[in-house]
Amino acid sequence: MLRSVEIIVAKHMGFCGGVKRAVEMARSTAESSAGSVYTWGPLIHNPQVVGKLQDAGVKVAGELEDLAGEAFVVSAYGVEHSVLDAAKAEGMRIVDATCPVVIRAHSLAFKLVEEGYQLVVVGDHGHPEMVTLKEALGDKVTIVHTREEAVLVKLRGRIAVMSQTTQSQENFRQIVGDLALRTKELRVVNTLCPAITVRQEEAEVMVEEVDALVVIGGHHSANTTRLAEIGRANELPTYHLEVPEELDPAWFAGVRKVGVMSGASTPEWIIAEVLRRLEEIGTQQRL
């Protein structure tokens, strides 16, 4: 039975600044355009928000042949130059909604390479932020996701290491420590997004205070997944869900305190629905 359940909601919830900016730019572009508006892949990693944007006229392109219309909105994570060039070739108006934090990280990467550093970036293979960086720098950058991958990197001369903006603090810290023991000169550049970092730090505290953790956000959202990983790493029952329909009352039998967190691309309306459903489950199980 769920008796006297206490729902503890994280302080930092909902859209971060970069996501909010991208969504607003895409929506306003659709409202002001007479023709088709496209993004390359999802604007952000939240299917529900992407669905609402599609209803508003922001279409998702998956093939270069799809890029034909009035405007092209660059996603919050950036986009490959090949895709951007294809959109420009079609005469599409370019609306750059790339997160400023990502732009800064990429600029720092280019500078480090220009200064002669061998660059190692801790990130997720296949993530748009990493794909665009690899496309731009090619063999001048090595992307690693795990400590095991980092061990295989042949280091030479001056080494610089940075991270994907949504990477796990702990993973970055461990890989930096490993690299530091293997080279005489290591330059560490912290490119972790502050809005993501503060959520991870809050998760580290929350897992010590609750009996179960609910993390709300896209299943393919890197920063949301990081929060769920923190809960599981602390052997806490952790549930990563996108919508309230995924909540199972059986998860909370005997639970006294439930922690609730969200990724940086999770809209407030979904958070409100999940909290409402949690209250209902608590009420039903107390009857």
Domain at 49, CATH number: 3.40.50.11270
The whole-model pTM stands at: 0.89
Residues whose CB is less than 8 angstroms from the CB of residue 36 and which lie 6 or more positions away in sequence, other chains included: 57, 59, 68, 69, 70, 71
148 assigned to active site: no
* Residue 285 confidence (pLDDT) above 80: no
Residue 1 is assigned to a structural domain of this protein:
no
SS3 114: helix
Please check whether residues 201 and 281 belong to one and the same domain. Answer: yes
Please check whether residues 209 and 159 belong to one and the same domain. Answer: no
Please check whether residues 44 and 109 belong to one and the same domain. Answer: no
Please check whether residues 221 and 248 belong to one and the same domain. Answer: yes
Rounded CA gap, 125 and 184, in Å? 27
Give the model confidence (pLDDT) of 11-56 as tens digits.
999 999 999 999 999 999 999 998 899 999 999 999 999 999 999 9
Domain at 202, CATH number: 3.40.1010.20
Please check whether residues 201 and 144 belong to one and the same domain. Answer: no
* Residue 283 confidence (pLDDT) above 80: no
Show the domain range for 83.
17-98
Q: What is the percent of the chain where pLDDT is above 70?
A: 97
Average pLDDT over residues 93-104: 96
Please check whether residues 210 and 276 belong to one and the same domain. Answer: yes
Please check whether residues 236 and 259 belong to one and the same domain. Answer: yes
From 136, 171, 192, the end of a domain falls on 192
From 192, 210, 230, the end of a domain falls on 192
Report the chain's mean pLDDT, rounded to a whole number.
Answer: 94
pLDDT given at position 254: 87
SS3 6: strand
Helices 194-206 & 222-233 angle (0-180, nearest 10): 20
pLDDT given at position 287: 44
Please check whether residues 37 and 53 belong to one and the same domain. Answer: yes
Please check whether residues 183 and 244 belong to one and the same domain. Answer: no
Give the model confidence (pLDDT) of 218-257 as tens digits.
999 999 999 999 999 999 999 999 999 999 999 998 899 9
Q: Evaluate whether 37 touches 43 at the Cβ level (below 8 Å).
A: no
Average pLDDT over residues 145-155: 97
Q: What is the percent of the chain where pLDDT is above 90?
A: 91
Number of structural domains (the chain) is: 3
Give the dihedral of Cα atoms 212, 216, 221, 227; nearest 10 deg: -30
Choose, from 114, 129, 208, 229, the residue flagged as catalytic.
129
From 192, 213, 246, the end of a domain falls on 192
pLDDT given at position 282: 76
Give the model confidence (pLDDT) of 55-92 as tens digits.
999 999 999 999 989 999 999 999 999 999 999 999 99
pLDDT given at position 2: 40
Rounded CA gap, 177 and 8, in Å? 34
pLDDT given at position 1: 41
Q: Where would I find the beta strands (DSSP E) of the chain? A: 6-9, 37-40, 58-61, 71-74, 93-96, 118-122, 141-144, 159-163, 186-188, 212-216, 238-241, 257-262
Q: Where would I find the beta strands (DSSP E) of 41-149? A: 58-61, 71-74, 93-96, 118-122, 141-144
